[in-house]
Amino acid sequence: MSEKDKNTSLNNSRRNFMKVGALAAAGFFIVPRHVLGKGYVAPSDRLIVAGIGVGGMGGNDINGVFNSGKADIGFLCDVDDRRAQKSREKFAKAKYYKDWRELFEKEGKNFDAVTVSTPDHNHAVVAMAAMQMGKHVYVQKPLTHDIYEARVLTDAAKKYKVVTQMGNQGASGDGVRQLREWYDSKAIGDVHTVYCWTNRPVWPQGIPWPGTKAEVPQGLDWDLWLGTAPYTDYVEKLVPFNWRGWWEYGTGALGDMGCHIVEPAFTVLDLTYAKDVQASVGSVYVDEFQRGYFPESCPPSSHVTLTFPKTKKTKGDVTVYWMDGGIQPSRPEELGPEEVFGDGGNGVLFIGTKGKMMAGTYGENPQLLPTSRTSEFKVKDKHKITRVPGSAGGHYNQWVEACIAGYGNKEVSSPFEIAGPLTEALLMANLAIRGIDIRTPRADGKGFNYPGRDLKLLWDNDNMRVTNFDEVNKYVKREYRPGWTLGV
């Protein structure tokens, strides 16, 4: 069977396997909760979880779920045996697979929930397949690689009535709740502007594709790692981390850190979908007056301006500025000359009509400005918000408990109905960044025109498209490699 036929067969089977009869038992010592049917009480009332991508951050995810004390890791899956080794040693009773489609096909009745910790470009296909099986899902940030995928997953969570959570743990933190309490208490008036910044990328960006074919390391299934992305030869220094800087697989600094740093603005101000975006990026010069052109790679730095429509918590539109690559906004006058801005490398600054407030990554260490106000300002009881036990560290436990309680019975901090619009806004910002590298040959044959530069992109949210620069719409929904589908 060819690889294409194999992929097609597996994708068809994962959509239909629940219809073809009973599956083999996993041999695990706890019965999955869903086997007992509606209204069941499972033995030990524990969740059986399958981890897809279990090295690096994936290892953190399954450990976080397990450490809730209410979940067991029943299955492990990773395309790279080397990266999976630690998790396989720790969860020795868990059955191991390399292909998540095979795991889902063979073990679908033997687990309740799935963690998805693959590279960005494969998040959506795994999460969608799990939800179609009725499995609860925890998906690493950013939720998806493409805007279309984020919209589809958000809708699917409602359709299949499963508990969802994105891996931006700051959404469960005390910090963002403190910021919200201050804002709801009118401590800084009406917010009209928010600055968000990060020192990422901390991996190479703004560079040419390596281009030199290398030998695939033993234990890595390169074709499975590529998944939905176009086939290319294996190259060094892409796996396991630097893929973040390449558009085929990652979403750059915005995708990596935006879900952590922009999230407080969404929570505090009830932001949803942006209506326009513009961007500028750092340049790389390869010779005198010769700007490098590396469209496959995310830029070394960027500055993005997003406009969000008025919400029930603002008096007008809100402008959100994003800066990465070490670029930061000017220090506010209310901040002392030696006080830390944000957390030093990352931060968020809210500017209101009556004051300002800031925080670091994950919304941690929130401060009113000047910082002396932080201890002085008292929040009335009516504005106080219940904390998540364990703060940001309780993000996993919150999801586990919600899965055990069942869809709609327990709140989570970053369900897809919130995480989806947040992800879409960040990916829309990436449209403006990628549009800068779109070029057309000049009529005289001397060089190129770059029609996407110096533009404000206007967004039609209902139809998920930019209305004034059609060339970037190809990035809203990419074409998967043959044999891969969302199964919508």
Convert the pLDDT of each residue in 219-234 to its tens digit. 999 999 999 999 999 9
Is residue 402 over pLDDT 70?
yes
Q: Amino acid letter at 89?
A: E
What's the rounded Cα separation, in Å, for the pair 31 and 41? 11
The alpha carbon of residue 82 and the mean position of all alpha carbons in its chain are separated, in whole angstroms, by: 24
Is residue 2 over pLDDT 70?
no
Q: What is the mean pLDDT of residues 293-321?
A: 98
Residues 6 or more apart from 167 whose CB is under 8 A from it? 57, 61, 117, 138, 139, 140, 141, 395, 414
Is residue 18 over pLDDT 50?
no
Is residue 258 over pLDDT 80?
yes
Angle between helices 123-132 and 3-16 in degrees, nearest 10: 40
Q: What is the pLDDT of residue 11?
A: 46
With beta carbons less than 8 A apart as the criterion, state whether 104 and 68 touch.
no
Could you say which DSSP state residue 60 is in? H
Is residue 331 over pLDDT 60?
yes
Q: What angle is formed at CA 485 by the lines to CA 479 and CA 488, rounded to 5 degrees?
A: 110
Question: Of 165, 187, 199, nearest to 411 (Cα)?
Answer: 165
Domains detected in the chain: 43-170 (3.40.50.720), 173-386+416-475 (3.30.360)
Residues 6 or more apart from 193 whose CB is under 8 A from it? 318, 319, 320, 321, 350, 351
Predicted confidence band of residue 34 (pLDDT cuts 50, 70, 90): low
With beta carbons less than 8 A apart as the criterion, state whether 229 and 125 touch.
no
Q: What is the mean pLDDT of residues 402-431?
A: 97
Sheet of strand 47-52, all strands in order from the earlier edge strand to the far edge: 95-97, 71-77, 47-52, 113-116, 136-139, 164-166
Average pLDDT, the chain: 92
Q: What tokens does 184 get?
A: 């709801």
Q: What is the mean pLDDT of residues 135-163?
A: 98
**Between the CA of residue 403 and those of 64, 99, 138, 358, 470, what are the distances in Å?**
15, 25, 10, 33, 41
Q: How many other CB atoms sit within 10 Å of the CB of residue 438?
A: 18
Is residue 298 over pLDDT 80?
yes
Strands 71-77 and 47-52: parallel
Is residue 160 over pLDDT 70?
yes
Question: Of 155, 378, 193, 183, nearest to 267 (Cα)?
Answer: 183
Cis, bond preceding 482 (omega within 30 deg of 0): no
Residues 6 or more apart from 106 whose CB is under 8 A from it? 23, 24
Q: How many other CB atoms sit within 10 Å of the CB of residue 479?
A: 9
Is residue 103 over pLDDT 90?
yes
Q: What tokens does 257 get?
A: 């850190």
477 SS3 class: coil
Q: What is the mean pLDDT of residues 467-484?
A: 97
Q: What is the pLDDT of residue 20?
A: 32
Is residue 439 over pLDDT 50?
yes
Angle between helices 395-405 and 57-66 in degrees, nearest 10: 60
What's the rounded Cα separation, in Å, for the pair 51 and 49? 6
Q: What is the mean pLDDT of residues 330-337?
A: 97
Q: What is the mean pLDDT of residues 8-26?
A: 38
Window from 26-35, 75-84, 402-411 with minimum mean pLDDT: 26-35
Q: Is the dihedral of CA 431, 466, 348, 420 positive or negative?
A: negative
User: Considering the chain, what percentage of its residues have pLDDT values greater than 70?
Assistant: 91
| Exposure b/e, 295-325, CB count within 10 A at least 16 = b | eebbbbbbbbbbbbeeeeebeeebebebbbb
What's the rounded Cα separation, in Å, for the pair 197 and 254? 10
Is residue 91 over pLDDT 70?
yes
136 SS3 class: strand
| Exposure b/e, 117-143, CB count within 10 A at least 16 = b | bbbbbbbbbbbbbbbbbebbbbbbbbb
Is residue 92 over pLDDT 50?
yes
Is residue 22 over pLDDT 90?
no
pLDDT digits (tens, 9 = 90+) for 173-223: 999 999 999 999 999 999 999 999 999 999 999 999 998 999 999 999 999
Predicted confidence band of residue 45 (pLDDT cuts 50, 70, 90): confident
**Residue that the structure tokens 């234990």 belong to:** 219
